[in-house]
Amino acid sequence: MKRRTLLLRSLPALGAAAALAQNNAAARPLTKPIPSSNEQIPLVGLGSWITFNVGNDRPARDQCAEVMRNFFAAGGRLIDSSPMYGSSQGVIGEGLQKLGAQRQVFSADKVWTSSRGAQQIEASRQLWRVAGFDLLQVHNLLAWQEQLPLLQEMKAAGRLRYVGITTSEGRRHRDMEQIMRGHRLDFVQLTYNLLDREAEQRLLPLAQERGIAVIANRPFREGALLRELQRRPLPAWAAEIGCASWAQIALKFIVSHPALTCAIPATSNAAHVRENMAAASGPMPDEAFRRRMAADVEKF
Amino acid sequence: MTEWWTYRLSSFLMFSPRTYWRLVESYNRDIWPAPVVAAGAGLVLLWLTAVPRPGGGRIVAAILAVAWLWVGWAFHWQRYATINWAAGYFAVAFWLQAALLVIAGVFRSSDPERVPRARVRNVGLTLAVCGLLLYPLAGLPAGRPWAQAEVFGVMPEPTAMVTLGLLLATGQSHTRWLSIVPVLSLAVGMATLWLISS
């Protein structure tokens, strides 16, 4: 399939800003709208699980700030973290302050433990060194009956812009579906990648139907998927969708799903963040191409 | 935690191997020459256990209690907790173990006539020697530098190994109770090391 054909087929899902970005793909990533507000979000964000949990290690913290600098330079905005991620929140906050990027970032964090949710959110905000969060999510649906009303209250009071829930590794999809049907949500976050595609059956169509943005976590299965794929040469079709690496193939597969808003690969390597951000530009696979990608990878 | 059976051991590893070993290296550097002093204290423990003498049990228990207090505070509380939120709980467990050692070993010293069976004593002494002398060398074949060596009285796993060995070798009357925290610590520590090396 020709690159131009692919591009034209994928354009309707990418929005007007995405079309403009084609002219300057290297500098600006493609975006998709958050359905509840139409605010545009770059297709690739930045996760922080493990990679940003470096404690008080000064060189490692500086390296994380360098990753963030490259992320923002490539047009990235959404960074995701959680109070469960050890020192990650503080590392992000330090990086944001160092880079003066508190207004540029789309801050996505989580509320985790079941008690004192408001206090935990305030502690997280101080670690992030931001005025307030853009998005707060109920981490792994823990105590969602208590936490979701808290987040909705914060949003109603103007102290939070978006509310979401998360799960990972395919857990509690039935519960997530019920919450998506019964509550007003701006975002859901779930595991979706070349091999973990259970969400395609019910959750992704439901998100489209209900106008909920979707963040895909574990795009590389914490690196295991890439380590497996990188043993093999890039398939010939990689060039057709402008991919120069398996990481870009994996990311383009995810963000080209019509229901997906953003993927959040985590890395502590500045070169990798540039490579990841490059996946948010150029031609995107259409549905037939995506099926071919998944089938080829499954054969491995 | 719901659907707990869907979690793998690796789901709980929240830092990279590189981060962990850099933390150990930085810790050893910060407290230098404490690792050498701790290893020396370990040799004293071995000597007091191998050549029993009146009051030796109390000294052994007191040194072990200091080691558990130190590892709980300097490693778990001050350093490991920066990358693992569970380390705060580990620190409390280590302080509890120190208290138990003081109560059982110092204030209620074991009966000097109580001698364990030779086989048990030998197993205990072997375990203690392994924890004291071999464990710090374990990282060298894997390419880890000396600066990342895990030493008794400084890191949790060798401290737990030496403690278990000495408890067996001395025939301490409360060995069962005093072994709970070291066994759990060793299990958690070994699981973590297995995850970050795999």
The rounded distance, in Å, linking the Cα atoms of A220 and A226 is 6
Rounded to two decimals, what is the model's pTM? 0.89
The pLDDT value given to residue A212 = 98
Chain B partners within 8 Å of A85 (Cβ): 14
Whether the per-residue pLDDT at B4 is higher than 80: the answer is no
- Chain B nearest-CA distance from A17, in A, is 36
**What are the tens digits of pLDDT across the range B151-187?**
999 999 999 999 999 999 987 778 889 999 999 999 9
Of A49, A53, A84, the CB nearest to B83: A53
| Predicted confidence band of residue B108 (pLDDT cuts 50, 70, 90) | low
The pLDDT value given to residue A180 = 97
Note the ipTM here: 0.90
CA angle (A193, A194, A199) in 5-degree steps: 50
* CATH superfamily membership of A3-299: NADP-dependent oxidoreductase domain (3.20.20.100)
Chain A partners within 8 Å of B22 (Cβ): 57, 60
DSSP label of B105: I
Whether the per-residue pLDDT at B50 is higher than 50: the answer is yes
The pLDDT value given to residue B66 = 97
Of B2, B6, B19, the CB nearest to A55: B19
- Chain B nearest-CA distance from A220, in A, is 15
The pLDDT value given to residue A18 = 41
* Chain A residue with minimum CA distance to B87: A86
The pLDDT value given to residue B114 = 63
The pLDDT value given to residue A114 = 64
The pLDDT value given to residue A9 = 44
Answer yes or no: do A268 and B16 touch at CB < 8 A. yes
Answer whether A111's CB lies under 8 Å from A138's CB: yes
The pLDDT value given to residue B197 = 85
Chain A partners within 8 Å of B85 (Cβ): 84, 86
**Best A48, A51, A57, A222 residue to mutate vs chain B (most B CBs within 10 Å):** A57
The rounded distance, in Å, linking the Cα atoms of A135 and A142 is 17
Tens of pLDDT, residue by residue, chain A (300 residues): 444 444 434 444 444 334 333 433 445 899 999 999 999 999 999 999 999 999 999 999 999 999 999 999 999 999 999 999 999 999 999 999 999 999 999 999 999 876 789 999 999 999 999 999 999 999 999 889 999 999 999 999 999 999 999 999 888 899 999 999 999 999 999 999 999 999 999 999 999 999 999 999 999 999 999 999 999 999 999 999 999 999 999 999 999 999 999 999 999 999 999 999 999 999 999 999 999 999 999 888
Arithmetic mean of pLDDT over chain B: 91
- Chain B nearest-CA distance from A6, in A, is 37
Whether the per-residue pLDDT at B7 is higher than 80: the answer is no
Span B15-26, average pLDDT = 97
Closest to A263 in 3D by CA, of A229, A213, A299: A213
Q: Which residues contact A49 (CB under 8 A, 6 or more apart)?
A: A82, A85, A88, A217, A222, A266, B14
The pLDDT value given to residue A113 = 77
- Chain A nearest-CA distance from B69, in A, is 22
The pLDDT value given to residue A19 = 37
Q: Where are the domains of chain A?
A: 3-299
* Chain A residue with minimum CA distance to B25: A57
Q: Where are the alpha helices (DSSP H) in chain A?
A: 3-21, 58-73, 88-99, 117-128, 144-156, 173-182, 203-210, 224-229, 246-255, 270-278, 287-299
